[in-house]
Each structure stands twice: as C-alpha cells, then as structure tokens.
Amino acid sequence: MKLYGKEALAELLSDTAEENRMSHAILLTGERGSGRHTVAKYIAKLFMCGARPCEKCPTCSRINAGTHPDVIDVLGEIGGKYGLTSKNGLTDIREFMDGTAIKPNDGDVKIYVFSNAEEMSAQVQNTLLKNIEEPENWVKYIFICENSSSLLTTIRSRVTEYRIPDCTAAECRRCLEEEFHADPAQAEEYSQMMSGNIGKCVDALGLAPRPEKKRSGRKSDDEPEEDAASVEMKLMESARHAAAAVASRNAYMLCAALGEQSGRKEYAGMLEYFAGILRDALAARAGGGLYSCGKEEARKIAAIFDENGLADMISAVFEINQKSAAANLNLALCSAYLTSRLL
C-alpha cells in the first residue's frame, strides 16, 4: 500500500516507531478523502509489523484489507453513532470500551480506530478520558477527524496529532491510474477538479468497492445507503446550482441552492466544489485552464465579475466553510450570510 504524497509523513512515523517513541493515542486530522484512513492503516502496521512494514506478511495483508481482528473500527462496531445508550442497534460506548481489558486475539497490540471523531459529543469524549489516561499495555488509540478543534482540550492534550498533507494533482493522478486503474483522461480531469484529493476522486468516479454493510442504528435494513459516487454527484450538482445563481445574480436562487445540503459534512463538501468553480472563474479571467465540476458556470461568472470580486467571493466561501465546521453554526444562517457576501 503506497502513501501517495505522504512519503515525508510516513518516514517521520517510521523513524518515531524505530526510536520507540510512538504515542499510544494518535490523532489524524485532514479533510475528507485526504488519506486519513490509509495513514491509520500504516500506523497499525508500525505497531504490529515493525517500523518498516514489509507489506507482505499476513498481518500487513489483513490490515490493508480491513480484516485484522485487533484493528477495531469503533464507529462501525457500535452501530454507526457514538452514544451512551444501547438501543435501536446502537451500543453504549462505555460498554464497548470495556473490551479493552481483553487481550489481543493475534499478537501483542490491540488498536481502536475512532473514525469521524468530531461526531462524538462532549459527554462521550469525557467517558474516553480514563481509557486514554490509563490504557492497558496492549491498547492503542487512533482518532480521525477533519479538525482537532472539534475535540475537547482534555482529549487534544492527551494525543499526538499528525496533520495529513495534501497531495498534488500529479500525485493524485498517478494513484488513480496505478491503484485504481482509472482512465488516464478521467484521472487527469478529476485530480485537477478535486485539487489532488484522492478519496473524493475515487468516490466521484465510483472506483471504490462498496463496503460490507454493518449494523447501524441510523437506517433500517430496507433503507439502503447511497453509494459514495451518488453523494459526490449530488454535491457537485448543488455547487453548480449555486454557481448558476451567482452567474444570474439571483440571491434567492443562490440561498436556495446553498441550502440543498442539510448535513454538515455534505454542506462543507458542496462549498468546496462551489469554491472550485469560483477558482475556475478566476482562472478564466487570466486565460488559464478550467478543472472544476462547473466549467460552463465558471465562464459565465468570469464574464460578469472582475478578479478582485472573484477573489473576495472565494475568500468568503472558505471563511464560512471554516466557521460552520469549527463553531457548529446553523447552516441556514450560514447560507443567508454567504449569499449577502456574494451578491
């Protein structure tokens, strides 16, 4: 398993493991699709295989495949939602963490991976403090989230944080072609459109196999979840609607388009695509190449707004995206505020 664009981080982690300085509690931060889970697997191999993972042994193979019994996907195992009750298919996180007292099935280490750690309430985070402060000798923790500010200070002070670096478009394209056998033309287009975000490219192109369905308290068995490609396409469509509203200078349409995504993560993803279209508009003013999901909308916007106006728009989109994530702001108010900034 290659770590495209993350060679420096991998070397740092390997050196740290070689010197026996790996923390028992690690926080990986970075945007969705940046490779956080891939790095988490690499860290698991550092603990279980060695400071320079061989990538050939059964341990490495099972970690890469997501089937190692001692690398535990906490969110998946407890039913898809962090909570303090056991009902409707969910498991109380406190009950689940009692399992840390049980020794590993295979080897000397047991790793608990907390995906989407930003979804943990303050109460849930507080219940984990004792586990982090007084771990069993064989237990390691890996927390994954977009921004460390979503975690309590008491958690952040007890973990070692590593920020996942961005990939270049060239590194992303190489990964898509080598690992996912993507069409070269599509790999080039999407690596530029997604600004080198491998995960988003894989989702948008439908290259990732659908994971096995785990029990979840969120959806019933007859209510299937959308595949990642469909989700990405909807985010792009909303971004194009927003861009079309900007091109027509229609504030009502813009506010409505921004409000099409009600989930916090979906809203952030839509704004990223929207910002990409605005960057394309700025590039079009300078005669540069266009790589966003809304090239036609970008050309129309470029014909109306000047460079300074477009730069201000891009800044406003990034500002509201950061604030909405960090401060848990009301998304409808965010949309209204952003509309007032853009038009």
- Cross-strand pairs, 111: 71, 140
Most confidently predicted of 62-71, 142-151, 215-224, 314-323: 62-71
Dihedral (CA of 210, 211, 216, 218) sign: negative
Taking only Cα atoms into account, the Rg of the chain, rounded to an integer number of angstroms, comes to 21
- Alpha-helical (H) ranges within the chain are 7-18, 36-48, 58-65, 74-77, 93-97, 122-133, 153-156, 169-179, 184-193, 198-205, 228-247, 251-258, 264-285, 295-302, 307-327, 331-342
pLDDT tens readout for residues 278-334: 999 999 999 888 888 899 999 999 999 999 999 999 999 999 988 877 667 889 999
DSSP state of 151: S
pLDDT the model gives residue 210: 53
pLDDT the model gives residue 240: 94
Q: Is the pLDDT of residue 81 over 60?
A: yes
CATH number of 227-343: 1.20.272.10
pLDDT tens readout for residues 115-136: 999 889 999 999 999 999 999 9
Q: Which residues, 6 or more positions from 21, have their beta carbon under 8 angstroms from its beta carbon?
A: none
Give the pair of three-digit tokens for residue 306: 């000047």
pLDDT the model gives residue 326: 66
CATH architecture of the domain 7-163 equals 3-Layer(aba) Sandwich (3.40)
Q: Above pLDDT 90, what percent of the chain?
A: 75
pLDDT tens readout for residues 240-280: 999 999 999 999 999 999 999 888 888 998 999 999 999 99
Give the pair of three-digit tokens for residue 343: 């038009």
Q: Is the pLDDT of residue 220 over 50?
A: no
**Separation in Å, CA 332 to CA 234, 237, 262, 263:** 18, 19, 8, 11
Q: Which residues, 6 or more positions from 169, have their beta carbon under 8 angstroms from its beta carbon?
A: 191, 192, 195, 196
Q: With H, G, I as helix, E, B as strand and everything else as coil, classify residue 113.
A: strand
